[in-house]
Structure 1
């Protein structure tokens, strides 16, 4: 066993720090740097990644926004001549004409 290998208690302490509310959204490299700024050295960055991988927590740690599902626009006619979609047809015709012209 290497002399600098972390004990089980030390591994659990590092994981507790990585999971803490203060650091749960940061990458191990950022956590390592912030801890060093505060004068604390727990382990190397690679050890942090290894411990997270062993614990099955080596995922994207940042909070990411989720976007609502896009809804297809729908044309609904409630009366005769209530919906006119001829503008869409004109646009398509112009695109086809511009791609097929040889001038």
Structure 2
């Protein structure tokens, strides 16, 4: 009987790939995160506030953004995309 298992045998027994084993032995140093620039198409603070006020009016307060978006388009008003309405906090 062998006293020590080799890496290949140990990885086979545990079901772990050798690449994962070696990667965990020497992890990469953490990268410094650089702040991402705001997208060019992002709403300004005033536009965000206007959309929030619209969504919180008595007429729209209980409706999901998809219905608000559709009703505003039916009236000929476009404020932002439906997806942006969902993202607005």
Q: How would you bin the TM-score normalised by the shorter chain?
A: 0.5 to 0.7
1:4 CA displacement: 1.5
1:2 CA displacement: 2.2
Q: List gaps (5 residues or longer) in structure 1.
A: 55-103
Match of 1:15 in 2: 52
1:50 CA displacement: 0.7
Match of 1:43 in 2: 80
Cα-to-partner distance string for 1:51-101 (whole Å, 9 max, x where unaligned): 0xx3xxxxxxxxxxxxxxxxxxxxxxxxxxxxxxxxxxxxxxxxxxxxxxx
- TM-score, normalised relative to structure 1: 0.48
Max Rg structure: 1
CA distance in 1, matches of 2:87, 2:69: 14
Count of residue pairs brought into register by the alignment: 52
- TM-score, normalised relative to structure 2: 0.55
1:25 CA displacement: 1.1
Aligned 1:1-103 pairs, distance under 5 A = 1-51=38-88, 54=89
Q: Which has the higher contact order (CA 8 A, sep 6+)?
A: 1
CA distance in 1, matches of 2:75, 2:40: 26
Q: List gaps (5 residues or longer) in structure 2.
A: 1-37
